Amino acid sequence: MAEAESIAELVPPNEVGAVDSAVSGPPVAEAGGVLTIDLGAIEANWRSLRRRVTPAECAAVIKADGYGCGIEKVVVALARAGCRTFFVADLAEARRVRAVVSEPAIYVLNGLMPGTASQFAEIRVRPVISSMVELAEWDAFVSNNQWRGGAALHVDTGMNRLGVTVNEAAALAPRIRSANHGITLLLSHLACAEQPDHPLNARQIGAFHEVRLLYRGIPSSLANSSGIFLGSTAHCDMVRPGVAIYGVNPIPGQINPMRPVIELRAHILQLRTVPRGETVGYGASWTAKRTTRIAVLAVGYADGYLRAASAADEAPGGNAIVAGMRCPLAGRISMDLLAIDITELPDGAAHRGDFATLIGDEITVDAVASAAGTIGYEVLTSLGRRYHRVYRG
């Protein structure tokens, strides 16, 4: 198939259909690495989550370019699977989604920036209102333009980030007696859902249920990916999974119930031998403890392979798989390059131009995140645009 630079070359605008395998980015021979994204796994993960929460609706969070996977292609795949409500971060993302699907509801989590109300109406998307100031501006626009597209009301139940207070939500509740109150969804956000025993979960669930009683008849949403696994008390009328759809483990410390979505392989640029006692990379932080064979890969932190996963004498860092064997990183990850220790490989097992797997096989996104001291969200959303991308499914 010829290389495709946009979803428009694969799926006509506003038409949800089959997406064949497709590629984007530079050709394989010119790219430092190949990023493979399994759209079928994304669909399967969403369906698995939907089964867990029935009869609640299962929406999908697709912000940050579909968690680094490509927002247009992710939207088409999820819409094909049956998803009818999407959450994005901002208007720019909402425009990209609306360009490829015409019917699903789209909510903008970052809400209403000053002076942007008309743009929400233009593309038929809904702001998530998080303050009384936003609400006043939105109400003025709705009144002046007779707009009936609706909005969500975000109630802060303990995150202390965005959202009206519980008391403000209670004061606003009488408005739902009006025929044109305009609230299509009531939502809040869990702060500690990935820690099932954290006491804040119960406090937030309890507070949100109290607010829900005041908004009878209005659909409500609380649970994110991890929140789904807290049980039915967190499900309400709609759940909003994000990272779990893309294969990251929503229940840390337990077996991941989600299918892996991405594979990342990097080209080997050069093989070299480093004498015992010599160092590798910036800062001379990694020292060869024996005569060491090194493979230099054409991927670095500019490609989203996080510098924090670097290896030093005191810290092992991340890993790669070459010729079926796990090989540790050697030295600091630089902007465009990283090195791995292939001494344990048989002679001739690796060659210039071969691939090393950085994510895939037994190296999960969560494992890479752990090596970098971060979370799978950051790994996924850091994936760069210099890769040759292959979409399957």
One CATH from 2.40.50.100, 3.20.20.10, 3.40.50.1820, 2.40.50.140 for 39-246: 3.20.20.10
With contact defined as beta carbons under 8 Å apart, do 46 and 40 qualify? no
Burial class (CB in 10 A: 0-12, 13-18, 19+), 375: middle
* Phi, psi (deg, nearest 5) at residue 52: -70, -25
**Dihedral pair phi/psi, residue 72, rounded to 5°:** -65, -45
Tell me if residue 282 is catalytic: yes
Give the residue extent of every domain in the chain.
39-246, 262-392
pLDDT at 21: 67
The amino acid that residue 237 corresponds to is D
Residue 248 sits at φ, ψ, to 5 deg, of: -75, 145
Region 262-392: CATH code: 2.40.37.10
CA gap 10, 14 in Å, rounded: 12
**Nearest alpha-carbon partner for 146 in 174, 186, 118, 114:** 118
Residue tagged active-site, from 63, 107, 301, 305: 63
Closest listed residue to residue 185, CA positions, set 59, 83, 66: 59
Catalytic residue (choose from 67, 282, 301, 391): 282
CB atoms within 10 A of CB 18: 10
Q: Are 135 and 129 in contact (CB under 8 A)?
A: yes
Whole-number pLDDT of residue 179: 85
What's CA 217's distance to the chain center, in Å?
31
| Residues in contact with 101: Cβ distance below 8 Å, sequence separation at least 6, in sequence order | 14, 16, 75, 76, 79, 86
pLDDT recorded at residue 253: 94
| pTM for the structure as a whole | 0.92
Residues 193 and 15: their CA atoms lie apart, in Å, by 36
Q: What is the pLDDT along the chain (393 residues), one digit of tens a residue?
A: 333 333 333 333 333 343 446 888 999 999 999 999 999 999 999 999 999 999 999 999 999 999 999 999 999 999 999 999 999 999 999 999 999 999 999 999 999 999 999 999 999 999 999 999 999 999 999 999 999 999 999 999 999 999 999 999 999 999 999 988 999 999 999 999 999 999 999 999 999 999 999 999 999 999 999 999 999 999 999 999 999 999 999 999 999 999 999 999 999 999 999 999 999 999 999 999 999 999 999 999 999 999 999 999 999 999 999 999 999 999 999 999 999 999 999 999 999 999 999 999 999 999 999 999 999 999 999 998 899 999 998
